[in-house]
Amino acid sequence: MAQPISMAIVQRASLRPLWVVFSLVILVCVLTATHSVAEQRIIKSHGISTFGDLKYGPDFKHLDYVNPDAPKGGEFSTWGFGTFDSLTPYILKGQAAAMSTIFFESLMTGTADEPDSRYGLLAESIEYPEDRSWVIFNIRPEAKFSDGTPVTAEDVAFSMELLREKGRLSFKVLLQDFEKAEALEPSRVKFTFVKGANTRELPMTAAGLPVFSKAYYTEHDFAESTLNPPLGSGEYLLSKVDPGKKVSYRRRDDYWGKDLAINQGRSNFDALTVEYYADYTAAFEGFKGGVYNFREEFLSKLWATSYDFPALDKGWVVKTTLPDGNPSGTQGFWLNMRRDKFKDPRVREALGMLFNFEWSNKTLFYGLYQRTDSFWENSNLEATGLPDAAELALLEPLREHLPASVFNEPAFSPNVSKSRQLDRNAIREAGKLLDAAGWKIVKGKRVNAKGQVLKVEFLNDGPAFERIINPFIDNLKRLGVIASLKTIDPAQATERQKKYDYDIVIQRFVMSLTPGIELRNIFSSAVVDNPGANNLSGLDNPAIDTLLDLIEKAESREELNTAVRALDRSLRAMHIWIPQWYKAAHNISYLDVYEHPAQLPPYAMGEMDFWWYSAEKAAKLKEAGAF
């Protein structure tokens, strides 16, 4: 209908003065734009997904993978590494306790059987136009904070600004495309996004932000770390805290959302407890001694050689392996390219060649692992072979900022070493790379034209990795690199990592199958100088920034997959890390008082989410003398 109106105005305008014509043309543009906006379909739904596909309809009773009849009760206890001095998880200051986000809820929440969906939690419904330029959430009237006060639109709008002003700097990046949040009504809040922003994921980002009490944080400084329990709307409250040693949470009897479909069969434990240890071996001894009851094992040596204690032999403890459907490829040694010695990719590649995974896996890991080569290992997002036509269409405009190997070589995979610790072929090839980069051998040491010696230090927060790092160091020394290991306590390691005060650190990130805005915090130049961000390598590359942007703009699953593979290929060619290893499974053991659904979802083990405590099993174990 806009077309006939526009043509009529233009035809009459041809007989009028020029300034009138211009005025009428402007009016036409305004009317057309307004008409276009008015024609946009407004979607109102119980959930939202990245590409519009929801598994669960508006009348679902419970998630498919939970047991809706699971009993409530008992305690779930596990362990945490290091220490803590805060219950404030969203700020840079302090070391937050495990699960301290449990106090807070978001407007919507995800599931473990869909990679990119959210369903109403604090919000009962969501409204947005097809272009997702804004989003409105309708808050449930029954939603309340633990002090009985209602969760309001004012609280939601306040929370966004609070995170942007006083939260970790990564929130500034996450929220940079948010123009404003405003309370339209007491239970109706609207987020408006910056014009021209990539809006595909922004409604979901808004849906996932934690919601704080405006009244509470008007009186308490959000930016200060504290061990006082904060006010939230979540199902658990603080039960006990022993600073640095133990934290425990208890389930609320008066939780407002216990009858929601999204919550059925979940949060089944009366108490959740985390015991802290500064040493992996000491933590294992604590498990054997019954100090805590659930353990996921990350040390292959312990898994292969130490699970022979009496409680296991008597059948009191279960030892098993459960599948992990998440991408598992981001664990590695991250090299800090903020330091001049790591700026040349040939140096980084050379160092990586001296990590002998094949020997490590045979000798140290009992053959339990596979080598990682992709940032999206164990998924269909991993780049393989040469780039296809769709990838090349994205990569060609970025050629000047990318290594040539991105275009003319298969996606990079680490060298395969011989199964002895020192592989002389790897030494020779790595030496050639360092020679070419200007690091020559002088009196047995690698020295550059300025006379500086190539020194690298591994920053480590516990003894468990020493047996892995030390052979790596020995190999590097044979290359003429002065390598060393610095082991400090976890709190110091965390602070140094926040400030990027390291040469090489070890870290693992769990990547999403529908990646988007969160990648900015790991790979974007926008956060390279932000303390506490996850850009551990100091990556600052315009091509990578463009690929991140393309990932966020992708309008279909096919477009997304192509852009992620192009990113994966490019990152691997830059040698920003030295990939380690993975296993597409969880190695777990637990006191046989816990049960879980027979069919677990692909994207979460759910031990603290939808497992439950068996009072009957506990009684039998107690009678047998297990505890």
Tokens of 574: 């830059």
What's the maximum distance between 2 C-alpha atoms anywhere in the chain?
101
What is the pLDDT at residue 38?
Answer: 52
What is the pLDDT at residue 80?
Answer: 96
Is 562 a residue whose pLDDT tops 50? yes
| Residue ranges of domains in the chain, CATH in brackets | 2-39 (no CATH), 42-325 (3.40.190.10), 332-582 (3.10.105.10)
pTM for the whole structure: 0.86
For 11-78, give the DSSP string. Answer: HHHTTS-HHHHHHHHHHHHHHHHHHHHHHSPEEEESEEETTS--SS-TT--S-TTS-TTPPP--EEEE
Closest by Cα among 277, 253, 243 to 100:
243
Could you read off the pLDDT of 260-299 as tens digits, one per residue?
A: 999 999 999 999 999 999 988 899 999 999 999 999 999 9
Confidence band for 40, pLDDT divided at 50, 70 and 90: confident
What is the pLDDT at residue 22?
Answer: 35
Confidence band for 7, pLDDT divided at 50, 70 and 90: very low
What is the pLDDT at residue 17?
Answer: 37
Could you read off the pLDDT of 336-363 as tens digits, one per residue?
A: 999 999 999 999 999 999 999 999 999 9
What is the pLDDT at residue 174?
Answer: 92
Check: CB of residue 277 under 8 Å from CB of residue 79: yes
Q: Which of 24-33, 260-269, 496-505 has the lowest mean pLDDT?
A: 24-33
Distance, CA of 214 to CA of 595 (rounded, Å): 39
- With the CA atoms of 299, 303, 306 and 310 taken in that order, what torsion angle do they form, in degrees rounded to the nearest 10? 130
Whether the CA torsion 88, 90, 94, 95 is positive or negative: it is: positive
Counting residues of the chain whose pLDDT is more than 70, the rounded percentage is 94
Closest by Cα among 427, 325, 362, 361 to 579:
361
What is the pLDDT at residue 419?
Answer: 81
Please, what is the average pLDDT of the chain?
92
Mean pLDDT of 209-235: 97
Confidence band for 39, pLDDT divided at 50, 70 and 90: confident
Confidence band for 328, pLDDT divided at 50, 70 and 90: confident
Distance, CA of 428 to CA of 543 (rounded, Å): 32
Count other C-beta atoms under 10 Å from residue 11's C-beta. 9
In whole angstroms, what separates CA 186 from the centre of its chain? Answer: 32
Q: Which helix (H) or strand (E) holds 347?
A: helix 345-353
Q: Which helix (H) or strand (E) holds 3?
A: helix 2-13
Q: Which of 15-24, 147-156, 539-548 has the lowest mean pLDDT?
A: 15-24
Helix ranges (DSSP H) in 59-180: 153-166, 169-174
Is 122 a residue whose pLDDT tops 90? yes
Mean pLDDT of 392-406: 98
Distances (CA, A) of 223 to 90, 161, 218, 407: 9, 13, 12, 46
Is 242 a residue whose pLDDT tops 50? yes
Mean pLDDT of 570-596: 97
What is the pLDDT at residue 61?
Answer: 98
Residue 141 is classified by DSSP as T
Could you read off the pLDDT of 8-28 as tens digits, one per residue?
A: 222 323 333 333 333 333 333
Closest by Cα among 555, 343, 529, 563 to 454:
343
Distances (CA, A) of 402 to 24, 59, 353, 488, 572: 49, 49, 21, 36, 11
Residue 124's beta-bridge partner residues? Answer: none
Check: CB of residue 612 under 8 Å from CB of residue 67: yes
What is the pLDDT at residue 11?
Answer: 30
What is the pLDDT at residue 4?
Answer: 32
Q: Locate tokens 């739904």: which residue?
A: 45
Q: Which of 81-85, 256-260, 386-390 has the lowest mean pLDDT?
A: 81-85
Closest by Cα among 594, 612, 618 to 69:
612
What is the pLDDT at residue 251?
Answer: 97
Counting residues of the chain whose pLDDT is more than 90, the rounded percentage is 88
